Amino acid sequence: MADTADTTGRPPGADTALVLGAGGLTGVGWEIGMLYGLAESGVDLSTADLVVGSSAGAMVGAQLLSGRLSFGELYERQLAAPPGGGTAAGITPGLFIRYARAVLGSHSPEEYGRRLGRIALDALEKGRTPTPGERRAVIAERLLSDEWPARPLLVTAVDALTGALRAFDRASGAPVVDAVAASCAVPGHWPPVTIGGRAWIDGGVHSAANAHLATGYRRVVVLAPSTLGNRVVVSPAAQAAELSAGGARTCVVTPSAAARKAFGRNSLDPAARAAAARAGRDQAADEARTVAAVWQP
């Protein structure tokens, strides 16, 4: 009997979901290195029926599904200087303290999102971030296409005023460049992005992976450069456990000790991107069997 649509919104016949989590520029490098290394081991995650991307994962997902470059070519781009330049300035101690206070003062991901939204809007108003136009130009140069891929891609972002999570897709009406820029808009570091008259910030604010968006898919692989979880932000591991409890086969891959060392202390430093990519490719050989057990029927 043919599959029919279910209450989760999973299309008929769809089975596999790839979740690409947040993690800055080093997260981009590690995820692409991991994808390349897994492909070299015979596990091709680009066949996913759904890709969910948050922050770094949004950039990787859009590049992966563009079909413009092979795994190897995507990997080689990580070893070169990043197009559009880059800044090694990361989260300052003062900004980190404001993040910590936001966590302690919040009781839900939405409240936390509102608090970080205020930080983002305040930084933009006071000229502490690049202009939205400057940032958009950088994202556009790093993406391989200004069109949404034909394959299903969800790009997450958080409403700066309400703290609500939204997943943008091809049907949302938002340009893919704007959706990815919003998903990568680290509060206080990069400017919020206006889509549909509303300001949006980093999708990783709600969750480091947002793996819950893969609910209903039977086989789910999560690549999570950040394992963050706290009193208001649900960790990738906890989200995967909920998917497993619902009957899915899941696998969460997080950076090895060698990869974490390659990342350094600043995930937004473009100089660390190449080392992170190499670490991801090296780690993939150790993860391939576990990932294949979930991915392959």
Instruction: Enumerate the active-site residues.
Output: 55, 202
Q: Which residue, 58, 56, 71, is CA-closest to 25?
A: 56
CB contact set of 162 (below 8 Å; sequence gap of 6+) = 110, 113, 114
Contacts of residue 3, defined as CB under 8 A and 6 or more positions apart, other chains included, come to 12, 13
Q: What is the 3-state secondary structure (H, E, C) of 218-246?
A: CEEEEECCCCCCCCCCECHHHHHHHHHHC
Contact 222, 250 (CB under 8 A): yes
CA 202, 206, 209, 210 torsion-angle sign: negative
